[in-house]
Structure 1
Amino acid sequence: MNERMTKQPKAIQAIIFDLDGVLTDTAWYHYRAWKALADELAVPFTEQDNEQLKGVDRLNSLRWIAQKGGLALSTAEEARLMAQKNAHYLELIQHMSPADLYPGVQPLFAAIKAKGWKIGLASASKNAAFVLDRLGIAGDFNYVADANQVQNSKPDPEVFLLAASGLGVAPAHCIGVEDAVAGIEAICAAGMRPVGIGEPARLVQASLVVPQIAALSIAQLQALA
Protein backbone atom coordinates (compact mmCIF):
# COMPACT_ATOMS: atom_id res chain seq x y z
CA MET A 1 0.00 0.00 0.00
CA ASN A 2 1.14 3.49 -0.75
CA GLU A 3 2.93 4.96 2.30
CA ARG A 4 1.10 8.23 1.93
CA MET A 5 -2.21 6.39 2.09
CA THR A 6 -1.25 4.58 5.30
CA LYS A 7 -0.36 7.83 7.04
CA GLN A 8 -3.35 9.94 6.10
CA PRO A 9 -4.05 12.46 8.88
CA LYS A 10 -7.39 12.22 10.63
CA ALA A 11 -9.33 15.32 9.59
CA ILE A 12 -10.47 17.59 12.40
CA GLN A 13 -14.24 17.90 12.57
CA ALA A 14 -14.87 19.15 16.12
CA ILE A 15 -13.26 20.96 19.03
CA ILE A 16 -14.57 19.99 22.47
CA PHE A 17 -13.86 22.40 25.32
CA ASP A 18 -13.90 22.09 29.06
CA LEU A 19 -15.57 25.08 30.73
CA ASP A 20 -14.03 25.99 34.08
CA GLY A 21 -10.51 27.36 33.66
CA VAL A 22 -10.66 27.14 29.86
CA LEU A 23 -13.42 29.51 28.74
CA THR A 24 -13.94 31.36 32.01
CA ASP A 25 -12.66 31.38 35.58
CA THR A 26 -15.17 29.88 37.96
CA ALA A 27 -12.41 28.38 40.14
CA TRP A 28 -12.55 31.30 42.57
CA TYR A 29 -16.32 30.87 43.02
CA HIS A 30 -15.88 27.14 43.59
CA TYR A 31 -13.12 27.85 46.08
CA ARG A 32 -15.27 30.26 48.09
CA ALA A 33 -18.16 27.79 48.17
CA TRP A 34 -15.98 24.81 49.14
CA LYS A 35 -14.08 26.94 51.66
CA ALA A 36 -17.31 27.92 53.42
CA LEU A 37 -18.33 24.28 53.60
CA ALA A 38 -14.89 23.14 54.80
CA ASP A 39 -14.95 25.83 57.49
CA GLU A 40 -18.29 24.47 58.69
CA LEU A 41 -16.75 20.99 58.86
CA ALA A 42 -13.61 22.38 60.59
CA VAL A 43 -11.40 21.11 57.77
CA PRO A 44 -8.51 23.37 56.65
CA PHE A 45 -8.96 24.22 52.95
CA THR A 46 -6.68 26.43 50.86
CA GLU A 47 -6.65 27.66 47.27
CA GLN A 48 -3.94 25.07 46.61
CA ASP A 49 -6.30 22.39 47.90
CA ASN A 50 -8.89 23.75 45.49
CA GLU A 51 -6.46 23.15 42.62
CA GLN A 52 -6.63 19.43 43.45
CA LEU A 53 -10.36 19.49 42.75
CA LYS A 54 -10.11 20.87 39.19
CA GLY A 55 -12.06 18.59 36.87
CA VAL A 56 -13.40 16.54 39.80
CA ASP A 57 -17.16 16.19 40.24
CA ARG A 58 -19.06 17.51 43.27
CA LEU A 59 -19.41 14.21 45.15
CA ASN A 60 -15.76 13.26 44.83
CA SER A 61 -14.71 16.80 45.73
CA LEU A 62 -16.73 16.57 48.93
CA ARG A 63 -15.24 13.16 49.69
CA TRP A 64 -11.75 14.58 49.14
CA ILE A 65 -12.42 17.30 51.73
CA ALA A 66 -13.97 14.80 54.14
CA GLN A 67 -10.98 12.48 53.81
CA LYS A 68 -8.62 15.40 54.40
CA GLY A 69 -10.45 16.08 57.66
CA GLY A 70 -10.71 12.43 58.65
CA LEU A 71 -14.51 12.57 58.45
CA ALA A 72 -16.91 9.74 57.65
CA LEU A 73 -20.06 11.12 56.05
CA SER A 74 -23.30 9.23 55.54
CA THR A 75 -25.04 9.23 52.20
CA ALA A 76 -27.63 11.62 53.60
CA GLU A 77 -24.94 13.97 54.91
CA GLU A 78 -23.20 13.92 51.54
CA ALA A 79 -26.43 14.83 49.76
CA ARG A 80 -27.15 17.68 52.18
CA LEU A 81 -23.62 19.11 52.00
CA MET A 82 -23.49 18.90 48.19
CA ALA A 83 -26.80 20.75 47.93
CA GLN A 84 -25.54 23.36 50.39
CA LYS A 85 -22.31 23.90 48.48
CA ASN A 86 -24.14 24.16 45.16
CA ALA A 87 -26.67 26.66 46.52
CA HIS A 88 -23.81 28.88 47.73
CA TYR A 89 -21.97 28.53 44.40
CA LEU A 90 -25.12 29.48 42.46
CA GLU A 91 -25.50 32.58 44.60
CA LEU A 92 -21.93 33.58 43.83
CA ILE A 93 -22.21 33.14 40.05
CA GLN A 94 -25.52 34.99 39.67
CA HIS A 95 -23.63 38.10 38.63
CA MET A 96 -21.46 36.47 35.96
CA SER A 97 -21.75 38.13 32.53
CA PRO A 98 -20.10 38.08 29.07
CA ALA A 99 -17.36 40.22 30.65
CA ASP A 100 -16.25 37.07 32.53
CA LEU A 101 -15.48 35.24 29.29
CA TYR A 102 -11.74 34.83 28.79
CA PRO A 103 -10.20 37.06 26.11
CA GLY A 104 -9.78 35.24 22.82
CA VAL A 105 -12.71 32.84 23.17
CA GLN A 106 -15.07 34.61 20.76
CA PRO A 107 -12.46 35.10 17.98
CA LEU A 108 -11.43 31.45 18.33
CA PHE A 109 -15.04 30.26 18.12
CA ALA A 110 -15.57 32.39 15.02
CA ALA A 111 -12.46 30.90 13.39
CA ILE A 112 -13.56 27.35 14.27
CA LYS A 113 -16.97 27.93 12.71
CA ALA A 114 -15.33 29.42 9.61
CA LYS A 115 -13.45 26.13 9.18
CA GLY A 116 -16.74 24.25 9.31
CA TRP A 117 -15.79 22.47 12.54
CA LYS A 118 -18.31 21.81 15.30
CA ILE A 119 -17.98 23.13 18.85
CA GLY A 120 -18.78 20.97 21.87
CA LEU A 121 -18.56 21.21 25.64
CA ALA A 122 -17.47 18.48 28.08
CA SER A 123 -17.85 19.85 31.59
CA ALA A 124 -17.60 18.28 35.03
CA SER A 125 -20.02 20.93 36.28
CA LYS A 126 -23.75 20.39 36.78
CA ASN A 127 -24.21 24.14 36.31
CA ALA A 128 -22.55 24.37 32.89
CA ALA A 129 -25.71 25.39 31.03
CA PHE A 130 -26.36 28.21 33.48
CA VAL A 131 -22.78 29.50 33.21
CA LEU A 132 -22.85 29.36 29.40
CA ASP A 133 -26.05 31.36 29.42
CA ARG A 134 -24.56 33.97 31.77
CA LEU A 135 -21.48 34.23 29.54
CA GLY A 136 -23.66 34.71 26.45
CA ILE A 137 -22.14 31.82 24.49
CA ALA A 138 -24.74 29.06 24.91
CA GLY A 139 -25.75 29.43 21.26
CA ASP A 140 -22.21 28.83 20.03
CA PHE A 141 -22.23 25.15 20.98
CA ASN A 142 -23.47 22.37 18.74
CA TYR A 143 -23.69 20.06 21.77
CA VAL A 144 -23.20 20.41 25.52
CA ALA A 145 -22.31 17.44 27.72
CA ASP A 146 -22.06 17.96 31.46
CA ALA A 147 -22.11 16.13 34.79
CA ASN A 148 -25.90 15.85 34.74
CA GLN A 149 -25.66 13.35 31.89
CA VAL A 150 -22.85 11.02 32.94
CA GLN A 151 -22.10 8.53 35.69
CA ASN A 152 -18.32 8.79 35.76
CA SER A 153 -16.22 11.90 36.33
CA LYS A 154 -12.91 12.77 34.66
CA PRO A 155 -10.38 11.18 34.16
CA ASP A 156 -12.99 8.75 32.89
CA PRO A 157 -13.62 9.69 29.22
CA GLU A 158 -17.42 9.37 29.46
CA VAL A 159 -18.26 13.09 29.21
CA PHE A 160 -15.93 13.61 26.22
CA LEU A 161 -17.31 10.52 24.47
CA LEU A 162 -20.84 11.78 25.10
CA ALA A 163 -19.94 15.16 23.61
CA ALA A 164 -18.48 13.52 20.50
CA SER A 165 -21.55 11.31 20.13
CA GLY A 166 -23.84 14.32 20.52
CA LEU A 167 -21.89 16.14 17.83
CA GLY A 168 -22.05 13.12 15.54
CA VAL A 169 -18.26 13.06 15.22
CA ALA A 170 -15.92 10.10 15.84
CA PRO A 171 -13.51 10.73 18.75
CA ALA A 172 -10.51 10.34 16.43
CA HIS A 173 -11.70 13.45 14.58
CA CYS A 174 -12.01 15.54 17.75
CA ILE A 175 -9.61 17.77 19.66
CA GLY A 176 -10.24 18.23 23.37
CA VAL A 177 -9.17 21.37 25.25
CA GLU A 178 -8.61 21.17 29.02
CA ASP A 179 -6.77 22.87 31.87
CA ALA A 180 -6.86 19.99 34.37
CA VAL A 181 -4.67 16.89 34.49
CA ALA A 182 -7.76 14.71 34.96
CA GLY A 183 -9.30 16.34 31.89
CA ILE A 184 -6.26 15.74 29.70
CA GLU A 185 -6.27 12.10 30.83
CA ALA A 186 -9.96 11.88 29.91
CA ILE A 187 -9.29 13.29 26.42
CA CYS A 188 -6.50 10.77 25.86
CA ALA A 189 -8.68 7.90 27.10
CA ALA A 190 -11.41 9.02 24.69
CA GLY A 191 -9.01 8.70 21.75
CA MET A 192 -8.98 12.41 20.99
CA ARG A 193 -6.07 14.80 20.54
CA PRO A 194 -5.42 16.72 23.77
CA VAL A 195 -4.68 20.43 24.04
CA GLY A 196 -3.74 21.83 27.45
CA ILE A 197 -4.30 25.30 28.85
CA GLY A 198 -1.71 26.06 31.52
CA GLU A 199 1.79 24.86 32.33
CA PRO A 200 3.54 22.25 30.13
CA ALA A 201 5.26 20.72 33.16
CA ARG A 202 1.86 19.87 34.65
CA LEU A 203 0.00 18.88 31.49
CA VAL A 204 2.60 16.43 30.23
CA GLN A 205 0.17 14.24 28.27
CA ALA A 206 -1.08 17.10 26.11
CA SER A 207 0.03 17.25 22.46
CA LEU A 208 0.04 21.05 22.67
CA VAL A 209 0.04 23.38 25.68
CA VAL A 210 -0.65 27.12 25.59
CA PRO A 211 -0.71 29.48 28.59
CA GLN A 212 -4.27 30.69 27.97
CA ILE A 213 -7.07 30.30 25.44
CA ALA A 214 -6.14 33.60 23.75
CA ALA A 215 -2.83 32.00 22.70
CA LEU A 216 -4.55 29.12 20.87
CA SER A 217 -4.84 29.52 17.11
CA ILE A 218 -6.57 27.70 14.29
CA ALA A 219 -3.15 27.02 12.74
CA GLN A 220 -2.04 25.23 15.91
CA LEU A 221 -5.21 23.14 15.97
CA GLN A 222 -4.88 22.33 12.28
CA ALA A 223 -1.29 21.18 12.86
CA LEU A 224 -2.59 18.44 15.18
CA ALA A 225 -4.42 16.72 12.33
Structure 2
Amino acid sequence: MDSVEALVFDLDGVIADTAKFHYEAWKHLLEDLGFQIDPNESEQLKGVGRIQALETLLTNRGIDFPYSKKVELAERKNAYYVKLLSLVDEGFLLPGGMEFVSLAKERGYKTALATASKNAHIILNKTRICSYFDVIVDGTMVKRTKPDPEIFLLTAKRLKAKPEKCVVFEDAYAGIEGAKKAGMKCIGIGKPEVLSNADFVVDSLASAVKMFGNEHY
Protein backbone atom coordinates (compact mmCIF):
# COMPACT_ATOMS: atom_id res chain seq x y z
CA MET A 1 0.00 0.00 0.00
CA ASP A 2 2.81 2.37 -0.95
CA SER A 3 0.46 5.02 -2.36
CA VAL A 4 -1.79 5.06 0.73
CA GLU A 5 -1.46 7.72 3.43
CA ALA A 6 -4.51 7.13 5.61
CA LEU A 7 -6.81 4.33 6.76
CA VAL A 8 -10.43 5.16 7.58
CA PHE A 9 -12.61 2.83 9.65
CA ASP A 10 -16.32 2.52 10.24
CA LEU A 11 -17.21 1.81 13.88
CA ASP A 12 -20.28 -0.45 14.21
CA GLY A 13 -19.50 -3.90 12.84
CA VAL A 14 -15.89 -3.08 11.93
CA ILE A 15 -14.21 -1.98 15.15
CA ALA A 16 -16.94 -2.69 17.71
CA ASP A 17 -19.55 -5.45 17.88
CA THR A 18 -22.43 -3.01 18.26
CA ALA A 19 -24.23 -3.36 14.91
CA LYS A 20 -26.37 -6.07 16.51
CA PHE A 21 -27.78 -3.47 18.91
CA HIS A 22 -29.15 -1.45 15.99
CA TYR A 23 -30.92 -4.59 14.78
CA GLU A 24 -32.36 -5.29 18.25
CA ALA A 25 -33.56 -1.70 18.59
CA TRP A 26 -35.32 -1.78 15.20
CA LYS A 27 -36.81 -5.15 16.13
CA HIS A 28 -38.22 -3.64 19.33
CA LEU A 29 -39.68 -0.67 17.46
CA LEU A 30 -41.37 -2.85 14.84
CA GLU A 31 -42.88 -4.99 17.58
CA ASP A 32 -44.33 -1.78 19.05
CA LEU A 33 -46.02 -1.27 15.68
CA GLY A 34 -47.28 -4.85 15.49
CA PHE A 35 -44.70 -6.17 13.03
CA GLN A 36 -41.82 -8.63 13.05
CA ILE A 37 -38.41 -7.89 11.59
CA ASP A 38 -36.92 -10.14 8.93
CA PRO A 39 -33.25 -11.01 9.65
CA ASN A 40 -32.57 -10.51 5.95
CA GLU A 41 -33.39 -6.81 6.39
CA SER A 42 -30.33 -6.20 8.55
CA GLU A 43 -28.06 -5.46 5.58
CA GLN A 44 -30.50 -2.82 4.32
CA LEU A 45 -30.24 -0.97 7.62
CA LYS A 46 -26.46 -0.81 7.88
CA GLY A 47 -24.59 2.43 7.40
CA VAL A 48 -27.59 4.68 6.73
CA GLY A 49 -29.34 7.31 8.83
CA ARG A 50 -32.23 6.55 11.17
CA ILE A 51 -34.95 8.08 9.00
CA GLN A 52 -33.69 6.30 5.89
CA ALA A 53 -33.55 2.98 7.76
CA LEU A 54 -37.05 3.53 9.14
CA GLU A 55 -38.42 4.39 5.70
CA THR A 56 -36.91 1.17 4.34
CA LEU A 57 -38.66 -0.88 7.02
CA LEU A 58 -41.97 0.91 6.47
CA THR A 59 -41.76 0.54 2.68
CA ASN A 60 -41.03 -3.17 3.07
CA ARG A 61 -44.36 -3.43 4.91
CA GLY A 62 -46.34 -1.22 2.56
CA ILE A 63 -47.02 1.48 5.14
CA ASP A 64 -46.10 5.13 5.59
CA PHE A 65 -46.37 7.87 8.20
CA PRO A 66 -46.14 11.67 8.17
CA TYR A 67 -42.57 12.90 8.57
CA SER A 68 -43.22 14.12 12.12
CA LYS A 69 -44.31 10.60 13.10
CA LYS A 70 -41.20 9.14 11.46
CA VAL A 71 -39.01 11.47 13.53
CA GLU A 72 -40.82 10.35 16.69
CA LEU A 73 -40.35 6.67 15.81
CA ALA A 74 -36.69 7.16 14.90
CA GLU A 75 -36.07 8.83 18.26
CA ARG A 76 -37.82 5.95 20.04
CA LYS A 77 -35.58 3.48 18.22
CA ASN A 78 -32.55 5.53 19.24
CA ALA A 79 -33.64 5.43 22.88
CA TYR A 80 -33.82 1.63 22.69
CA TYR A 81 -30.35 1.57 21.10
CA VAL A 82 -28.76 3.89 23.68
CA LYS A 83 -30.17 1.75 26.48
CA LEU A 84 -28.47 -1.31 24.96
CA LEU A 85 -25.18 0.61 24.76
CA SER A 86 -25.06 0.54 28.57
CA LEU A 87 -23.82 -3.04 28.13
CA VAL A 88 -20.77 -2.00 26.09
CA ASP A 89 -17.24 -2.31 27.44
CA GLU A 90 -13.82 -3.16 26.00
CA GLY A 91 -14.99 -6.73 25.46
CA PHE A 92 -17.15 -5.48 22.58
CA LEU A 93 -14.11 -4.66 20.44
CA LEU A 94 -14.02 -7.06 17.51
CA PRO A 95 -11.04 -9.43 17.20
CA GLY A 96 -8.09 -7.97 15.35
CA GLY A 97 -9.53 -4.48 15.08
CA MET A 98 -7.30 -2.53 17.41
CA GLU A 99 -4.33 -4.74 16.57
CA PHE A 100 -4.78 -3.70 12.94
CA VAL A 101 -5.11 0.00 13.83
CA SER A 102 -2.03 -0.17 16.07
CA LEU A 103 0.00 -1.87 13.35
CA ALA A 104 -1.11 0.78 10.85
CA LYS A 105 0.04 3.57 13.15
CA GLU A 106 3.38 1.83 13.70
CA ARG A 107 3.85 1.81 9.93
CA GLY A 108 3.18 5.53 9.70
CA TYR A 109 -0.37 5.60 8.37
CA LYS A 110 -2.82 8.23 9.56
CA THR A 111 -5.94 6.65 11.08
CA ALA A 112 -9.52 7.86 11.34
CA LEU A 113 -13.02 6.79 12.28
CA ALA A 114 -15.89 7.81 9.97
CA THR A 115 -19.17 6.62 11.44
CA ALA A 116 -22.75 7.60 10.70
CA SER A 117 -23.59 7.02 14.37
CA LYS A 118 -24.63 10.01 16.45
CA ASN A 119 -23.91 7.95 19.57
CA ALA A 120 -20.32 7.10 18.69
CA HIS A 121 -18.98 9.02 21.70
CA ILE A 122 -20.70 6.53 24.03
CA ILE A 123 -19.04 3.54 22.37
CA LEU A 124 -15.65 5.25 22.10
CA ASN A 125 -15.64 6.25 25.76
CA LYS A 126 -16.75 2.83 26.97
CA THR A 127 -14.19 0.98 24.84
CA ARG A 128 -11.43 3.57 25.49
CA ILE A 129 -10.12 3.70 21.94
CA CYS A 130 -10.24 7.43 21.08
CA SER A 131 -6.47 7.80 21.33
CA TYR A 132 -5.89 5.26 18.55
CA PHE A 133 -7.32 7.61 15.91
CA ASP A 134 -5.91 10.86 14.56
CA VAL A 135 -9.37 12.00 13.46
CA ILE A 136 -12.90 11.01 14.47
CA VAL A 137 -15.91 12.11 12.40
CA ASP A 138 -19.42 11.02 13.37
CA GLY A 139 -23.01 11.62 12.33
CA THR A 140 -23.31 14.81 14.38
CA MET A 141 -20.72 16.52 12.16
CA VAL A 142 -22.37 16.04 8.76
CA LYS A 143 -25.69 16.92 7.16
CA ARG A 144 -25.97 13.96 4.81
CA THR A 145 -25.65 10.28 5.68
CA LYS A 146 -23.97 7.48 3.77
CA PRO A 147 -24.06 6.68 0.84
CA ASP A 148 -23.43 10.40 0.41
CA PRO A 149 -19.63 10.93 0.41
CA GLU A 150 -19.75 13.95 2.76
CA ILE A 151 -18.46 12.12 5.84
CA PHE A 152 -15.52 10.65 3.94
CA LEU A 153 -14.57 13.93 2.29
CA LEU A 154 -14.67 15.68 5.68
CA THR A 155 -12.53 12.92 7.18
CA ALA A 156 -9.93 13.28 4.41
CA LYS A 157 -9.90 17.05 4.89
CA ARG A 158 -9.29 16.72 8.62
CA LEU A 159 -6.60 14.11 8.01
CA LYS A 160 -5.01 16.48 5.48
CA ALA A 161 -4.94 13.58 3.04
CA LYS A 162 -6.17 13.38 -0.54
CA PRO A 163 -9.20 11.07 -0.92
CA GLU A 164 -7.36 8.92 -3.45
CA LYS A 165 -4.68 8.33 -0.79
CA CYS A 166 -7.23 6.92 1.68
CA VAL A 167 -8.47 3.35 2.14
CA VAL A 168 -11.79 2.81 3.92
CA PHE A 169 -12.84 -0.28 5.89
CA GLU A 170 -16.64 -0.71 5.83
CA ASP A 171 -19.18 -3.42 6.59
CA ALA A 172 -22.13 -1.74 4.83
CA TYR A 173 -22.96 -1.49 1.13
CA ALA A 174 -24.05 2.13 1.64
CA GLY A 175 -20.78 2.99 3.35
CA ILE A 176 -18.74 1.44 0.57
CA GLU A 177 -20.76 3.37 -2.00
CA GLY A 178 -20.08 6.61 -0.13
CA ALA A 179 -16.35 5.90 0.08
CA LYS A 180 -16.17 5.16 -3.64
CA LYS A 181 -18.07 8.36 -4.46
CA ALA A 182 -15.45 10.21 -2.42
CA GLY A 183 -12.74 8.74 -4.63
CA MET A 184 -11.38 6.36 -2.00
CA LYS A 185 -10.52 2.68 -2.20
CA CYS A 186 -12.65 0.50 0.05
CA ILE A 187 -12.16 -2.86 1.72
CA GLY A 188 -15.39 -4.57 2.72
CA ILE A 189 -15.66 -6.36 6.04
CA GLY A 190 -18.16 -9.18 5.64
CA LYS A 191 -19.46 -11.36 2.82
CA PRO A 192 -18.34 -10.81 -0.81
CA GLU A 193 -21.83 -11.50 -2.15
CA VAL A 194 -23.24 -8.70 0.03
CA LEU A 195 -20.40 -6.19 -0.37
CA SER A 196 -20.01 -6.59 -4.11
CA ASN A 197 -19.16 -2.91 -4.58
CA ALA A 198 -15.95 -3.13 -2.50
CA ASP A 199 -12.50 -3.24 -4.07
CA PHE A 200 -11.67 -6.21 -1.87
CA VAL A 201 -13.48 -8.12 0.88
CA VAL A 202 -12.24 -9.85 4.04
CA ASP A 203 -14.36 -11.48 6.72
CA SER A 204 -12.88 -9.38 9.55
CA LEU A 205 -10.04 -7.09 10.52
CA ALA A 206 -8.50 -10.14 12.20
CA SER A 207 -8.00 -11.57 8.71
CA ALA A 208 -6.70 -8.22 7.48
CA VAL A 209 -4.04 -8.24 10.22
CA LYS A 210 -2.54 -11.39 8.71
CA MET A 211 -2.45 -9.78 5.27
CA PHE A 212 -1.08 -6.53 6.66
CA GLY A 213 1.75 -8.48 8.22
CA ASN A 214 2.90 -9.36 4.71
CA GLU A 215 5.55 -6.87 3.64
CA HIS A 216 4.07 -6.81 0.13
CA TYR A 217 0.58 -5.83 1.30
Q: What TM-score, normalized to structure 1?
A: 0.89
- What is aligned with 1:109? 101
- The counterpart of 1:68, out of the listed 54, 60, 68, is 60
Match of 2:179 in 1: 187
CA contact (8 A) 1:10 1:172 kept: no
Among 42, 51, 54, the alignment partner of 1:59 is 51
In 1, Cα distance between equivalents of 2:215 and 2:150: 23
* Structure 2 match to 1:206: 198
Q: Deviations over 1:72-91 (max 9, x none)?
A: 21222122111111111111
Is residue 2:130 matched to residue 1:138?
yes
**1:168-187 alignment, distance < 5 Å:** 168-187=160-179
What residue number does 1:85 align with? 77
Q: How does 1:26-37 map to 2 (within 5 A)?
A: 26-37=18-29
Unmatched segments (≥5 aa) in structure 1:
1-8
User: Between Structure 1 and Structure 2, whose CA radius of gyration is higher?
Assistant: 1
- Name the counterpart of 2:86: 94
- Kept in 2: contact 1:22–1:197 (CA 8 A): yes
Aligned length: 215
Question: What is the CA distance between 1:150 and its match in structure 2?
Answer: 1.6
Q: CA RMSD in A?
A: 1.8
In structure 2, C-alpha distance between the alignment counterparts of 1:175 and 1:38, rounded to whole Å: 36
Aligned match of 1:14 in 6, 26, 35?
6
Report the CA distance shift for 1:121/1:95 in structure 2 as closer, same or farther (over 3 A): same
In structure 2, the CA distance between the partners of 1:220 and 1:203, relative to structure 1 (3 Å rule), is farther
What's the CA shift for 1:38? 0.7
Q: For structure 2, list consecutive stretches of 5 or more residues without a partner in the other structure.
A: none
- CA 20–220 in structure 1, closer or farther in 2 if over 3 Å, else same: farther
CA-CA distance at 1:201 after TM superposition: 2.5
Matches of 2:148 and 2:172, distance apart in 1: 13
| Residue matched to 1:5 | none
Distance in 1 between residues matched to 2:129 and 2:50, nearest whole Å: 24
TM-score (norm 2): 0.92
Instruction: Give, in whole Å, the separation in 2 of the partners of 1:37 and 1:171.
Output: 37
Q: Is the 8 A contact 2:102 2:132 kept in 1?
A: no
Distance 1:10 1:205, change over 3 A: farther
The 8 Å contact of residues 172 and 193 in structure 1, kept in 2 or not, is answered as yes
Distance 1:37 1:221 in 2: 48
* Cα gap change, 1:60 to 1:194, in 2 (>3 Å): same
Q: Which amino acid aligns with 1:213?
A: L
Cα separation, partners in 2 of 1:221 and 1:183, compared to 1, 3 Å: farther
Counterpart of 1:55, as a letter, is G
Q: Distance in 2 between matches of 1:221 and 1:191?
A: 25
Shift of 1:208: 2.1
Tell me which amino acid in the other structure corresponds to 2:36.
P
2:37 aligns with 45
For 2:98 and 2:48, locate their aligned partners in 1 and report how far apart those are by CA, in whole Å. Answer: 26
